[in-house]
Amino acid sequence: MPELIVGQQRWPVAAGQNLLDALNAQGLNVPYSCRAGSCHVCLVHCLRGEPLDRNPDALDSLKRAEGWRLACQCQVLDDLEVAVFDPARDGVPAKVQACDWLSTHVLRLRLEPQRPLRYQAGQHVVLWTDTGVARPYSLASLSQEDRWLEFHIDCRQPGAFVDQARGMQVGDTLRLGELRGGALHYDPDWQDQPLWLLASGTGLAPLYGVLREALRQGHHGEIRLVHVAHDAGEHYLREAVQALQVEHANLQVHLLTSAEAPEALRGLRVQSRRTTALACGGATAVEAFARQLFMAGLPRSQLLADVFVAHA
């Protein structure tokens, strides 16, 4: 039976046991969000031994070379010594610069990191509270233009991070975990192609960053932004995106409620096979976007999507 070691603790575990489950069964309270290798909240540092990694591509090669693994994706086969991610030691401090409500349910956090953080539109980062609660959030800001990191927190449903975010004040400190990219990004090679951005809820956050990056790089093709919200009051960036539409003749903005979305999406028609579409939001919304885009004539390979996963 292999032995698992963390600091001064060591205990036997069943061969093949999931590493995250083994750690939490011992009371180490390693946080997690998705258990699918997407959120990167459950990072651990392998100090001695090697677990069986079921999803090695979930981490970039540099992170893996440093010994980091995602506990939810690993099984313990032999003796293994790990250190769990410690935000006080491994994270980057960031102070709350602004904390305000963009709508009834969307809280905007602007953080100023202790050191500059270089990132690309569409990436996300794990936010840690001082009580050890961690959650990944997409960046809505641009490193080339903004002095802060901006996050849009959906507070419609209660949650460990959301409950603390509601009470955050200017000057509070969070810590930043791993920065990583999903499917969403802007490619300069798309400059002359139609670009469609489809978001539901706070899925707008990363696509707002992608939109601003496309405009910053002088995108020449048509850009169509679709935001689906529960009701009209939840189009929380209405003024910002409509101002961009006034400034850029190639940008069309469509603000839809959940009730209006099905019919509007059925009316989509892809005029160019070179169109690239990016979609972000909850699983149901992204599936609806994908289905309608394919029916509208978009090649499957030209849809890039990030799905917001509820806490497991």
Model pLDDT for residues 72-83, shown as the tens digit of each residue: 999 999 999 999
Does pLDDT of 312 surpass 80? no
Which of 248, 214, 209, 241 has the alpha carbon at shortest distance from 227? 241
Domains and CATH numbers, the chain: 3-85 (3.10.20.30), 88-181 (2.40.30.10), 188-308 (3.40.50.80)
Number of H helices, E strands in the chain: 8, 19
Paired residues of 46 in beta bridges: 82
Find the DSSP H helices in 217-303.
238-247, 261-266, 283-295
pTM: 0.90
Does pLDDT of 311 surpass 70? no
Does pLDDT of 310 surpass 80? no
Q: Name 214's Cβ contacts closer than 8 Å, sequence gap at least 6.
A: 186, 190, 195, 223
Residue 93 and residue 127: Cα distance in Å, rounded? 10
| pLDDT category of residue 178 using cuts at 50, 70 and 90 | confident
Model pLDDT for residues 226-271, shown as the tens digit of each residue: 999 999 999 999 999 999 999 999 999 999 999 999 999 999 899 8
- DSSP 8-state secondary structure symbol assigned to residue 201: G
Average pLDDT of the chain to the nearest whole number:
94
Burial zone of 258 (CB within 10 Å; 0-12 exposed, 13-18 middle, 19+ buried): middle
Does pLDDT of 220 surpass 90? yes
Model pLDDT for residues 17-74, shown as the tens digit of each residue: 999 999 999 999 898 878 888 888 899 999 999 999 999 998 888 889 999 999 999 9
